[in-house]
Amino acid sequence: MEGKMTMHEFTKEEWKLVRIHGRTSANNPTTLFYSGSAVECNVRAATLRLTCNAVYDCFEQWITIVLNGAIVSRQMLEKGKQTITVFRGMNPDKIKNVRIIKETEAIPEDSVHYLQILSLETDGEVCPVQKRSLTLEFVGDSITTGEGTYGAKGEEDWIPMFFSAYHNYAYLTAKELCADYRVISKGGWGIYCGWDNNIYNSIPRVYGKVCGMLTGAQHEAVGAQEDYNFAANPVDAVIFHLGTNDYSAFTHEPFIDPETGVAYRQKMNEDGTFEEESEARFVCAALSALRDIREKNPKAYILWVYGMLGNGLEPLIEKALVRYRQESGDERISYLALPNTTDETVGSRYHPGYPSHQTAARVLVERLRHIFRLAPGDAAYQ
């Protein structure tokens, strides 16, 4: 069968029919940075091949291949250029929907880290991918990255094998709502600071760039530091899932800035309440983040979700939201508490497991249906 096939690489016109998910730059080839970034195509063919370039130093890239809405492959990529057969020997008369998803988060701890889609080849016809009516953006940390959704309970190694863009609440929510989506997330990062009080590990600080957390000449060359074009890529809702690491910072040692020697630390009072100055720093950072999200997404609904790994920061989140509404008059914003992870739903690395993400997605879908007045549908998400 293989010898009889006439394979051809997607032409420029055929690439216009391919859907790119996630933040990418204008550079060629298509470069994927964040977890959940993907290429999606419809082909009427027996065979489809992918050629990609996995660029990393220490932390390998993983991809998941979804065929007609179901996962058919999950694999680690070796460094460099490689060709992968996505499917072979299928009915050439039927259209197949294929999504190739980057499972691994953006990793600034690595010296260089991105995935390039160099080409797609098929022995059939490339067909259009229908645009979905709803587009969501998920902004978060390791929970949104899907850390802990693979692997046995008790696994503690910090390796990409235990991360998944497919087995998490963002994908599940988009699937249920038949929505397009993109993710901006990084494990350990927060709003004001990261889990270890590092003030530079702030998602809002890099939100305006394609992938601002990836620095250095190689990342800049492939567009990571470009300003993201929000106007050309509008979303209907921004699901803002941050605060877990900011709360952890209150229980950790200070971060000493290696450049200045200045120490930064969020503190609790002896009675367990938040120190006034620390509370003010978080609320100020949250207000700034909300203003920036609204400026860049003027028509989107903003939904702040929180709670899968505890809800200790909920009082400060609610305080920031009240102040934001008072100063802006913006009513297209609300808060949603997500169910906490239990002993039964925990995954590897003491993070929410797949069952916890399924529970969170159900709650989130219900709220988004209410916000957008959506009736339960039976259309399959591809």
| pLDDT-derived band at 270, boundaries 50, 70, 90 | very high
Question: What's the average model confidence in pLDDT over 313-323?
Answer: 98
Residues 67 and 191 in one domain: no
Residues 97 and 232 in one domain: no
The torsion angles phi and psi of 371, rounded to 5 degrees, stand at: -60, -45
378 domain residue, yes or no: no
Residues 121 and 140 in one domain: no
Per-residue pLDDT at 377: 59
Per-residue pLDDT at 215: 97
309 domain residue, yes or no: yes
Note the pLDDT tens digit of each residue in 194-205: 999 999 999 999
Residues 183 and 289 in one domain: yes
Residues 250 and 177 in one domain: yes
Residues 120 and 142 in one domain: no
Report the number of distinct structural domains present in the chain.
Answer: 2
pLDDT at 3 > cutoff 60: no
Residues 21 and 94 in one domain: yes
Note the pLDDT tens digit of each residue in 206-234: 999 999 999 999 999 999 999 999 999 99
pLDDT at 277 > cutoff 50: yes
Residues 301 and 183 in one domain: yes
Per-residue pLDDT at 381: 40
Q: What is the pTM of this model?
A: 0.96
Residues 79 and 154 in one domain: no
Rounded Cα–Cα distance for residues 42 and 187 (Å)? 32
Find the angle CA(77)-CA(229)-CA(100) to the nearest 5 degrees: 25
381 domain residue, yes or no: no
382 domain residue, yes or no: no
Decide which of 28 and 363 is more confident.
Answer: 363
257 domain residue, yes or no: yes
Per-residue pLDDT at 1: 42
pLDDT at 131 > cutoff 90: no
Per-residue pLDDT at 27: 74
**315 cis-preceded (ω within 30 degrees of 0):** no
Q: Which of 127, 156, 175 is at the close of a domain?
A: 127
pLDDT at 65 > cutoff 60: yes
279 domain residue, yes or no: yes
Q: Which of 93, 127, 161 is at the close of a domain?
A: 127
How does the average pLDDT of the chain come out, rounded?
95
Question: What's the average model confidence in pLDDT over 73-91?
Answer: 98
Residues 121 and 141 in one domain: no
pLDDT at 379 > cutoff 80: no
Residues 34 and 74 in one domain: yes
CATH number of the domain encompassing residue 349: 3.40.50.1110
β-pair partners for 257: none
Find the angle CA(235)-CA(96)-CA(32) to the nearest 5 degrees: 45
Residues 155 and 109 in one domain: no
CATH number of the domain encompassing residue 123: 2.60.120.260
Note the pLDDT tens digit of each residue in 7-44: 999 999 999 999 999 999 877 799 999 999 999 999 99
250 domain residue, yes or no: yes
Q: Helix crossing, 169-177 with 354-372: angle to 10°?
A: 40
Per-residue pLDDT at 382: 40
9 domain residue, yes or no: yes
Q: Which domain holds residue 114?
A: 2-127
Q: Which of 127, 143, 159 is at the close of a domain?
A: 127
Note the pLDDT tens digit of each residue in 328-351: 999 999 999 999 999 999 999 999
Rounded Cα–Cα distance for residues 155 and 165 (Å)? 18
- Please report the sign of the dihedral spanned by the C-alpha atoms of residue 344, residue 349, residue 355, residue 361: positive
